[in-house]
Amino acid sequence: MPLQYAVTGGLSAVESGLRVTSRGLALGVTGMQATMQGFEASRRSLDLFVEDPLLVTEAPRATDIVLTTAPVVTGIARDQRRETSSAQRERRGQQIRSAFTDLGPAFVKLGQTLSVRPDLVPEEYIDALEELQDQVPPAPWDRVEAVIEDELGPVDEVFDDFEREPLAGASLGQVYRAELDGEPVAVKVRRPDIEARVQRDLRLVESAVPVASAFLDDGRAFTLETIVDQFADTLREELDYEREAEVMEQVRANFADDDRVKVPAAVDSHTTGRVLTMEYVDGTKISEHGALDSMAIDRADLANRLRETYLQMTLVDGVFHADPHPGNVAVQPDGTLVLYDFGMAGELDPDVQADIVDFFVAISQGDVTAILEALVELGTLDPAAAETGDDALGEVVERFVERTRAGEFDAQEFEALVDALEEAFYEMPFRLPPNLALVLRVIAITDGVANTLDPEHDFFGVIDDVLADRGFLDEDATESAIEA
């Protein structure tokens, strides 16, 4: 018996030793991976300094960016390998939000772009980045006046009257009230020197992508490069006020026969790349619920019309206002929706519109297989993952569809299911093509606005109504409606 106990004890000790050794080897491999990532990032950094003279000429700004972001870079790499807890990732998300805020407009815009990318960042980052806001004091009037004079001429000669205090402002531009030919107008002026600052920071961000990619797997590294390219294009477009005027006129024409939606008319004679003059259209911010109630506005109906308006722009028109936060959407006393600020806008070609319609139809019909197929057609999901019927994503989508169609959601459960979807997307070979990123942004922002207007708001009910009204539940009618 003593011999048996000794043998058993020895085997147990060997087994324990093997487990400890295995854990040690795993930690060693992880440490080696981190070391290799750090080495590769250092090598790429040295290459950048040799290849890109901007990193030398703008060394102070580059150093500021590095010092501000360095504390979170290692943590991001650990989060990407899922070696941290949810609480740690929440803290990291808050660190990133604070760093982007400190670094200024280009980084605030980058953070807002990442906030709708569950394929690239964990849900905890998304929660933090959704709260990013521009925090920039107004530029001095004398500098703003110089921009107007460079573009149009002396302010008092080209306008009948011009108020010196801005009505609204953000990181890229400021809006003033003025009078032209006896009519009130709004004048949006690009902030002085903002283009040079943004272009510099965009170059620095683009230069940093190869370094950041060293800490990511190949799929997410490719996605990061794509999203930075898209973000840079979008931000440069936001700086071009002539382009914004063109988009405004397109959307305005699309709603010409709908007196429930108002888009200000651009004044071409007083619009340039840095100054946008438009019809002055007053309204109450859609988030001012007390004021809406005092005007006897039906908030439930308003929430539905907000959704319908943006679904029309994306599913039917193909040109859409992509920044529907409460500061950019107002309501007139008769309930008319007013849309402001078309700097951030998107365009969809008919094929993509049809694929989005197929996705919504699949949700409407509760067809999980069709949902996954639509995601493949949209380029968001690897076909192999859909064909194998990935359990994690399939189960979450199925649960989402079942509860949606049954109308059994409460706010907490809906949020938990969205979190589960984001987690599945992050873990899977899920990618969000650039042309869908703005669509997702619109859906996310209008969801928040609609649900605060009406806590009982039924997004999927609105989708069903729009699909039925537009004939999208009929395959032939879907194609003809989009082509028209």
- What pLDDT does residue 7 have? 46
Q: Which residue has the higher pLDDT, 165 or 69?
A: 165
Shared domain check, 130 and 73: yes
Shared domain check, 140 and 118: no
Q: Return the H-helix or E-strand segment holding 347.
A: strand 345-347
The angle at the Cα of 245, spanning 243 to 251, to the nearest 5 degrees, equals 105
Shared domain check, 246 and 180: yes
Q: Say if 180 falls within a structural domain.
A: yes
Q: Which residue has the higher pLDDT, 296 or 401?
A: 296
Query: Could you tell me which residues are beta bridge partners of residue 284?
Result: 331
Shared domain check, 313 and 438: yes
Domain count, the chain: 3
Q: Which residue has the higher pLDDT, 117 or 461?
A: 461
pLDDT confidence bin for 329, thresholds 50/70/90: very high
Segment 215-226 shows an average pLDDT of 63
Residues 6+ apart with CB under 8 A from 41: 211, 212, 214, 215
Q: Are 331 and 292 in contact (CB under 8 A)?
A: yes
In the residue annotation, 323 being an active-site residue is answered as yes
CB atoms near residue 484 (< 10 Å): 6
- How do residues 272-281 score in pLDDT, each as one tens digit? 999 999 999 9
- What pLDDT does residue 75 have? 65
Ranges 169-173, 223-227, 255-259, 398-402: which has the least confidence: 223-227
pLDDT confidence bin for 242, thresholds 50/70/90: very high
CA 296 vs. chain centroid, Å, equals: 33
Q: Are 72 and 161 in contact (CB under 8 A)?
A: no
Map tokens 């964990």 to a residue: 122
pLDDT confidence bin for 213, thresholds 50/70/90: low
Look up the pTM and report it: 0.76
Shared domain check, 114 and 43: yes
50 pLDDT higher than 50: no
Shared domain check, 147 and 42: no
Nearest in space to 235 (alpha carbons), one of 151, 337, 354, 112 = 112
Shared domain check, 229 and 80: yes
Mean pLDDT rounded to a whole number for the chain: 78
456 pLDDT higher than 50: yes
Strand order in 329-331's β-sheet?
261-262, 337-339, 329-331, 284-285
Q: Which of 317, 323, 390, 464 is catalytic?
A: 323
Shared domain check, 15 and 26: yes
- What pLDDT does residue 196 have? 87
Segment 385-395 shows an average pLDDT of 61
- What pLDDT does residue 308 have? 95
Q: Say if 153 falls within a structural domain.
A: yes
Q: Which residue has the higher pLDDT, 53 or 290?
A: 290
283 pLDDT higher than 50: yes
Q: Say if 421 falls within a structural domain.
A: no
Q: Say if 412 falls within a structural domain.
A: no
Shared domain check, 360 and 222: no
Question: What residue numbers bound the domain in which 112 lies?
Answer: 2-134+197-235
- What pLDDT does residue 110 have? 81
Shared domain check, 140 and 122: no
- What pLDDT does residue 105 have? 79
Nearest in space to 336 (alpha carbons), one of 316, 306, 300 = 306
Q: Say if 166 falls within a structural domain.
A: yes
Could you give the 3-state DSSP secondary structure of residue 322?
coil
Segment 121-126 shows an average pLDDT of 79
Query: Could you tell me which residues are beta bridge partners of residue 178?
Result: 162, 185
Q: Say if 407 falls within a structural domain.
A: no
- What pLDDT does residue 135 have? 62
Q: Identify the CATH number of the domain in which residue 168 sits.
A: 3.30.200.20
Q: What is the CA radius of gyration of the chain?
A: 26
pLDDT confidence bin for 412, thresholds 50/70/90: low
In one letter, which amino acid is 87? A
Q: Which residue has the higher pLDDT, 19 or 246?
A: 246
pLDDT confidence bin for 39, thresholds 50/70/90: very low
